[in-house]
Structure 1
Amino acid sequence: MFKRLPGDETRNLVSTTPDTAVVFRPAVVQTPAIITIVIFAWRCLAGLVRLLVVHPVAVSCVAAVVLLWRLFGWPAVLVAFVVLTSSLAGWFTADRASFRRWISWRMLAFWRRFWIYWRHWQPVMVVSGLGRHLKGRDYLPRLVRVECDSWADRVTVRMLSGQAVKDWSDRIEHLAHGFGSTSCRVAVERAGRLTLTFPRRDPLAVPIPAVPIPETASVGPVEIGMCEDGSPYRLKVHGTHVLIAGATGAGKGSYLWSTVRGLLPAMAAGLVELWALDPKRMELSYGRALFGPRYAAPPAECADLLEAAVKVMQERADRYAGLRRSHTPTVDDPFVLMLVDEVAFLTAYQSDKGLRQRITSALATLTTQGRAVGVGVMAALQDPRKEVMNIRNLFPDKIALRLDESEQVDMVLGDGARDRGAMADQISPDPARGAGIGYVRLEADPDPVRVRAAFVSDSDIRAMVAEFAGAGEGR
């Protein structure tokens, strides 16, 4: 068989043996030397400009050393080095936070950009399938920028034309192990650009003690723990509904009790009413005195309490109609937060069909109409399947703690959440390492955030009961 030849050269070839390969040497076009020189000079100039833009500090330091050496000799360089070192040491001693922000993290980013990412960029991109090798040439996504902070690297990437976010989110494990990290998360910066987050350490590995009770009364957002970047995690409960899903021992109680703890001053001021449904009689019953008459455990009482909340919601809606569109907590119209532990027992595992229908109907009514008039629902469950909790999509904000299966992550947080880095099925089952750790996906942000709720111990709950039991009654 003839090999494919350029032009009409195949017409001049004759072979009596069809299986014999034809050797053909294509014509070589000589490129003028001036064109080669211009292209080389242009590439050198573009590389120099790119170096100045990407690494201005490093280039300035090298240029300053060379200039001092040429003008004043090595003693001037030594004096400048001593002065600079002393200044940096004084800066580090006086204000470590700003020193890290402006010096340490930038130098670390410069080093990791070269040693970790740029050095391994081509093989990782090609092997993972994000790069293309066509006709002897590599087409690779562009490494735009590397930024570091106390716990992670954030790598900005320009995708190849025609690539989609899913192409990257499907390969987060390839990227994580290729660059020596435990995980990778993908977020869209803007059209054509992604931010890849590679953690270097885990700030949430150690359990967090209970957050101090706020000094001022507020309905939130309530500080209940810490985000992965070290900042406080504040959970919004007023004006939304929250669904918490996690296996047994995952730490759902930490979220419930931390929320209660943050709302205690507002409850004492009459701005918040906490209504508790505790069908297991184990979690919320420990602080039952905080809820007063608004506590229910038997399914029939839970149905009655939910229907009472629906009546409150409907009465407010009648009064607000045509006058206001949002709720402001007052003593006369406090924010009502329904705390439901193990909601699946009431909605799916309840043997009494009539009670199950009443409870499901009341929860659906509250989650569809309640937040505008100041009635919120915070529900916890173990099994997030649709047949167990068929109204889970009515909760705008969702939290996924440790889950048993990878498919359950998308059931809780929505399609594509696990591909974006919400590895809730890989959270450690060890209570000391994984209890309270979860991924939060808010209504306004599709990217999951890793957080850990503070652990509220039995002694903390007893102290809360001793100080605030009955504080909100009689108003």
Structure 2
Amino acid sequence: MFKKMPGEEPPRIVSTTPDTAVVFRPAVVKAPAIITFVLLGWRAVVSLVLTVWRHPVAVLVVAVPCVLSALYGWRTTLLLLTPVLVGLVSWGMLDRPTFMRWVGRRLLAWWRLVSVYRRHWQPVMIVSGLGKHIRGRDYLPKLGKVTCTSWADLVTVRMLSGQAVKDWADRTDNLARGFGASSCHVSVVEGGRLRLTFPRHDPLATPLPAVPIPETASVGPIEIGKQEDGQPWLLKVHGTHVLVAGATGAGKGSIIWSAIRGLLPAVRAGLVEIWALDPKLMELSFGRALFGSRYAADPGNCADLLDDAVKVMQSRAARFAGHRRSHTPTVDDPFVLVVVDEVAFLTAYQPDKELRRRISAALATLTTQGRAVGVGVLAALQDPRKEVMNIRNLFPDKIALRLDESEQVDMVLGDGARDRGALADQISPRPEVGAGVGYVRLETSPDPLRVRAAYVSDDDIRDMVTDYGEEVR
């Protein structure tokens, strides 16, 4: 029926059906068996060495009983290992933090590697599109070391040649669902290597009580809450400017009052002055006695107070010129923190055009020139759109609390912040779950950090006013 084809092509033909395209098998290179065995043996040795290097505790836990059982039998092994097990249990009960650091989390990391990541690596990579299936062969990113912290798994990955960080950032939802985590955060370790963070539980799920007022006077960084890794969240206010954006009820007041609370000893020592602008008459007025004459609520008074701050800044700049390049707080030249509760009310929603112009010009001057001479701005707003706050890029440090739209995340934190894991639009609107939770992007790092601010209650503010209000002139 078919005419015989000359040459070596006919044996490679898979199908010659008239209405089906001709498909050829790929060429197969036959290698000697000894080379195959050498390659497989070399891979096994490398894998064993890496396993021992990355998980020494897990290897000992598995290897020691096996070796003892082979040499002396299971009864002798049981007798020898029973005191060790009793000692480990006692250690874990008496000093759990050190036990988890040296033993517990190392075993957990090995178990998570074997039971979760290595087990599901191939299907998750292929389904998510991060791996490629070409001519019957899977090309997968290389799974590296798995480390466990108190709250998350840190997985090191080597990307395929030609992949970009954005390819992984766009598939964080796929990775989280594929490995059974609530979320996934992608960060760059070095060229070609990434670190994937998979939370096992949320350490920021419950509200935090107000941080105690420091015993010593300091201009910061100020502890105002907790980071996702359990470490204290230290907010820098001296030598920078901070913008806080969040929807109604997101917890902007928690950040403002926690910052004020941490500066009170320095206020008492004369090293800090807090100037408060409260156009809504709702937030800062509750602690008005803490600000003395440096409090304004009427838009006209707010403009005057900002103009006064600009004069202080310009006077210092003239005195510092040629003598110093940075500010050190003193009683004669204290650090001035200008706190604006709802800055958009003054810069966008103010009907008086002249006041709006004065306020915008003063804020732009302070944010461009103030931090070198010890004048900082801490501003909060609800709507981060450019037409509402056109100087938002002049704030080096930014905080995004719960936002209404995903596009607003990049408006506040900068382009690509949401792709790097800043899911501020997905924070729960329930106050007990999401109030005070947000993402921070610092001037020194492009990667957003998930945090939660401590809640400063009305009683806490009353106590602050009672203890420090009379000392503010």
TM range (shorter): over 0.9
Indicate how the Cα distance of structure 1 residues 262 and 24 shifts in structure 2: closer, same or farther if over 3 A, else same.
Answer: closer
Match of 1:250 in 2: 250
- 1:330 maps to which residue? 330
Distance change (3 Å), C-alpha of 1:86 and 1:298: same
1:172/1:183 contact within 8 Å kept: yes
TM alignment of 1:246-395, pairs within 5 A: 246-395=246-395
Alignment map for 1:130-169 (pairs within 5 Å) = 130-169=130-169
Number of the residue aligned with 1:56: 56
Contact 2:292 2:472 in 1 (8 A): no
Gapped runs of 5+ residues in structure 2? Answer: none
Per-residue CA deviations over 1:221-277 (Å, capped at 9, x if unaligned) read 011111111111110000000000000111100000011101000000000000000
Q: Is the 8 A contact 1:269 1:472 kept in 2?
A: no
Q: 2:291–2:472: 8 Å Cα contact kept in structure 1?
A: no
What is the CA-CA distance between 1:77 and the residue it aligns to?
Answer: 1.1
Query: For residues 26 and 276 of structure 2, what CA distance do their matches in structure 1 show?
Result: 83
Q: How does the TM-score come out when normalised to structure 2?
A: 0.94
**In the alignment, is the contact (CA less than 8 A) between 2:55 and 2:106 conserved in 1?**
no
Distance 1:57 1:299, change over 3 A: same
3-state SS of paired residue (1:60): helix
Partner SS for 1:446: coil
Going from structure 1 to structure 2, the CA distance change for 1:365 and 1:180 (only over 3 Å counts) comes to same
Q: Percent identity?
A: 71
Describe the SS at the equivalent of 1:447. coil
**Residues 191 and 297 of structure 1, relative CA distance in 2, 3 Å threshold:** same
Letter of the 2:287 counterpart? G
C-alpha distance in 1, partners of 2:235/2:23?
Answer: 72
Amino acid at match of 1:178: G
Q: 1:78–1:351: structure 2 CA closer, same or farther, 3 Å change rule?
A: same
Output the CA distance in 1 between the equivalents of 2:451 and 2:7.
64
Is residue 94 from structure 1 mapped to residue 94 from structure 2 by the alignment?
yes
**2:109 alignment counterpart:** 109
Q: Equivalents in 2 of 1:271, 1:171: separation in Å?
A: 48
Conserved 8 A contact 1:271-1:330: yes
Please, what is the CA RMSD of the aligned residues? 2.4
Other structure's SS at 2:239 match = coil
Residue in 2 that maps onto 1:69: 69
Secondary structure of the structure 1 residue equivalent to 2:209: coil
What whole-Å deviation, never above 9, does each CA across 1:293-352 have from its counterpart, x for those lacking one?
000001100000000000000000000000000000000000000000110000001111
TM superposition shift of 1:21? 6.5
- 2:447 alignment partner, SS class: strand
Q: What SS class does the counterpart of residue 112 from structure 1 fall into? A: helix
Give, in whole Å, the separation in 1 of the partners of 2:457 and 2:24.
82
- Quickly say closer, same or farther: Cα 1:28–1:135, change in 2 above 3 A: closer
SS in 2 for 1:469: helix
| Gaps in structure 1 of 5+ consecutive residues | none
Count how many residue pairs are aligned between Structure 1 and Structure 2. 469
Counterparts of 1:336 and 1:6, CA distance in 2: 90
AA aligned opposite 1:398: K
- State the alpha-carbon separation in 1 of the partners of residues 275 and 59 from structure 2: 62
Q: How many angstroms does 1:8 deviate by?
A: 6.6
Q: Which residue of 2 aligns with 1:81?
A: 81
- C-alpha displacement of 1:201: 1.0
Q: Deviations over 1:399-449 (max 9, x none)?
A: 000000000000000011111111100111111111111100000011111
Q: Taking structure 1 as reference, are residues 29 and 135 closer, same or farther at Cα in structure 2, changes over 3 Å only?
A: closer
Contact 2:421 2:448 in 1 (8 A): yes
Residue 63 of structure 1 and its aligned partner are, at CA, apart by 3.0
